[in-house]
Each structure stands twice: as structure tokens, then as C-alpha cells.
Amino acid sequence: MDTIRPFITGSGLWKPANTISNDELVHSYNAWVEQNLALFGDKPPFSNSEFIEKASGIKSRYVIEKDGILDTNRMRPSLTERPDDDISLQAEMAIEAAKDALCAANKLPNQIDAVIVSSSYTQRPYPAIAIEVQHALGIEGFAFDMQVACSSGTFGLHRAYEMVKAGTANSVLVISPELTSPQVNFTDRDSHFIFGDVATAMVVENSKAITSPLHTFEMISVRAATQFSNNIRSNFGYTARACDTDPFSPQALFHQNGRKVFKEVCPMAADHLENHVASNGLKTSDIKRWWLHQANINMNQLIIRRLLGKNADQLTAPIILDQFANIASAGSLVAFNLYHQDMQPNDLGVICSFGAGYSIGSLLLKKI
């Protein structure tokens, strides 16, 4: 019996039409601080674009809705609630990325067996966004949502890899529609600039199901690790109603202890990647491309120096933070989407995420 080999055969990316530059975001944030000086006493926490870029590498971000975020009387996106019979916003994002991935993989919806929507947030608990996407695209089989914070995308690809290896599906569509801006506290100096909105999609297939010869990558192996930490949290949830607490308080939105995250996650991610590569009989120098999680440019640079003993150029370890900001679990997948078509047969690459949990997921790929 032939061994079943999973491949990534198609990748898709969808971006909102709206962008917000650091200067725009800082202008509205500082104006909000001016309006609320009584909250801060003698030390109002003003921000500036230079601080943001130096601290994170971020220059701009895509957002699903712009005006509400820059409105000093609102400081959050202004979204319109859709009737239950209309396609949800997050499903709409997912579908656009999915269409690109299906096209790249030369696949029709009726050739897909399963849909996984893996993102750090889902718009609602149920029905699953994945099932809504499955229905809208006309895909048979089954679908489900899953969340592992900023490792949702890689963990979703792991599940697809395992399903194909087990023979429970021949072709799996994995989508990460990261609608993060509604969970950002745009009145918090330390985090108001971090996140953006985007959607990615990938098709994972059994080698016998492949119909597209272009830009195909064998999934050599996957590895995951989790370790509990309170240093990155988002406490928004339905129990706020029963606890009589404010469901939109700062504690309910994204918040983190950035210094501890940096100190603890960098060595954890570097060790994880070294061990994953070594477990396949390889050295880190054998890897042509590192598609790393896009949370902070300083984290990525430190991890790469640990792995390679030197700094890396844009092709070795692509950085997309300047355009996209942190896009949660989609970050490493956007890096892959934008920086994989030049890879040559037998070139090796690693996709890796690291985020809240803590959670780390990686995939070793080989270009076919």
C-alpha cells in the first residue's frame, strides 16, 4: 500500500480595501488622549509613529472598517449588523481568500472534502463559520471552526495534514479569516497599533488528488507545542452576562505583558524550530525560507539569529509587518503567500506560528 503524502497545492489571500497608517492612528489616538486628560493625571500616554515602528516594525495595517477607529468619540470599528439570512462578515472574508486558493490549486468546490476555519477569533459561537463557508461555496463533506489564538492557522493545517494522512479526506480547504480589529483596544497606547484584518486560505491534498502542477509543496512533517501563560489574554465571552461584568472592558479585549512575552516566547520558538528541523535529519542551514509568525520584527530577528547565527535577508525570513501589522494566525501564512513562488524544486521551507497559550505550530515543506 502506498504511503499517503499530503501537499499544499494552492494559497489565497484577501485584503480589505482600507488601510490605516501609523500617522493616522497616532493622530486619532493622541487626540483621544487630549479629550480625556482627566483620566491620566500628570502623565498622559501620548504615542508617536517612530515608537510604533521601532517597537514592532509596523508602518500600516489593513482594516475592515476605518472611520470608526479614527473617530475620537468612538475608537472602534463601526460595523453594521447583518440579518441572519445574509452572509456573515467573517464568512465573506473567508470565501474571497478561499476562491483564490481553489483557483491556485485548480480545484472546483465539489472536489473539496472538508473545510476548516482556523482563526484567533470567530464572529459567533455557532453555526460554525466554516459550515457557512462550506454552504456558500457548494462544498459537500464536513466543516468546523477551531481556535488556538495566533497558532490557529498552523494548527488548522496540522489537522488537514492528519486528515489527508489518515485518508479521511483527499482535499481540505483551510481558511484563516482574521477579523481582529473589533477586539483591539484603540485607547491603549501599548496595543492600539498592533493588529490588522486579513484572510488567507490553503488547499491541502493527497498526492493522488493534485490537479495543479504549479507551486506545490510536500508537507514533510508538522510539530506543535503548548504551554499555559496569562501573558496574552482576551477575556471576551458569553459568561460576562451571567457575571454582571462589562463585556467590552479593557480586560475583555486583547491585552498582553509584551516584555514577558518577548522574553519567554523567543527561546521557546527557537528551540521548537531547531528540534523540528533536527528531527528530520536536517540542519537549520538546510532551510531556504522561514515563514515566521508576524507579531514583532524584533522577535523574528532574534529567533533567526538564534537559528542561523546571523541576520537574515527578506527572502530568507520574509517580514510583512510593515504593510499588514500583526494579523494573528494569518501572519506566517501571508508571508508564505507572498514569498513562495520563487522556490525551486527540492527547496525546503518552514512555516511557524507562535502566540497566546503559549502555542507554537510549525510545518516543514519541500517544493516539488
Which residue blocks in the chain are alpha helix, DSSP H? 22-35, 49-56, 67-70, 89-104, 129-137, 152-166, 240-243, 258-278, 297-308, 321-324, 331-338
Q: What is the C-alpha separation between 193 and 167, in angstroms, rounded?
A: 43
- Map residue 184 onto helix, strand or coil: coil
Each residue's pLDDT expressed in tens, for the chain with a length of 368 residues? 458 999 999 999 999 999 999 999 999 999 999 999 999 988 899 999 999 999 999 999 999 999 999 999 999 999 999 999 999 999 999 999 999 999 999 999 999 999 999 999 999 999 999 999 999 999 999 999 999 999 999 999 999 999 999 999 999 999 999 999 999 999 999 999 999 999 999 999 999 889 877 899 999 999 999 999 999 999 999 999 999 999 999 999 999 999 999 999 999 999 999 999 999 999 999 999 999 999 999 999 999 999 999 999 999 999 999 999 999 999 999 999 999 999 999 999 999 999 999 999 999 999 99
Please give the residue range of the domain that contains residue 259: 217-367
Determine, yes or no, domain membership for 345.
yes
Q: Which residues lie below 8 Å from residue 1, measured CB to CB, with a gap of 6+? A: none
**Rounded to the nearest 5 degrees, what angle is found at the Cα of 266, between the Cα atoms of 316 and 149?**
95
- Integer CA distances (angstroms), 367 to 153, 195, 223, 330, in order: 20, 31, 19, 21
How much is the pLDDT for 2? 58
266 flagged as catalytic: no
Determine, yes or no, domain membership for 344.
yes
Determine, yes or no, domain membership for 243.
yes
Q: Annotated catalytic residue: which of 150, 243, 266, 352?
A: 150
Determine, yes or no, domain membership for 6.
no
Determine, yes or no, domain membership for 238.
yes
How much is the pLDDT for 1? 42
Q: What is the C-alpha separation between 43 and 174, in angstroms, rounded?
A: 46
Q: What is the C-alpha separation between 100 and 173, in angstroms, rounded?
A: 11
Q: What is the C-alpha separation between 257 and 253, in angstroms, rounded?
A: 14
CATH number at residue 346: 3.40.47.10
DSSP per-residue string spanning 29-41: HHHHHHHTGGGTT
Which amino acid does the sequence have at 181?
S
Determine, yes or no, domain membership for 256.
yes
Q: Which residue has the cell 472602534?
A: 76
Q: What is the C-alpha separation between 339 and 322, in angstroms, rounded?
A: 15
How much is the pLDDT for 3? 81
Determine, yes or no, domain membership for 119.
no
DSSP per-residue string spanning 141-160: SEEEEE-BTBTHHHHHHHHH
Q: What is the C-alpha R_g of the chain?
A: 20
How much is the pLDDT for 103? 96
Domain count, the chain: 1
Determine, yes or no, domain membership for 262.
yes
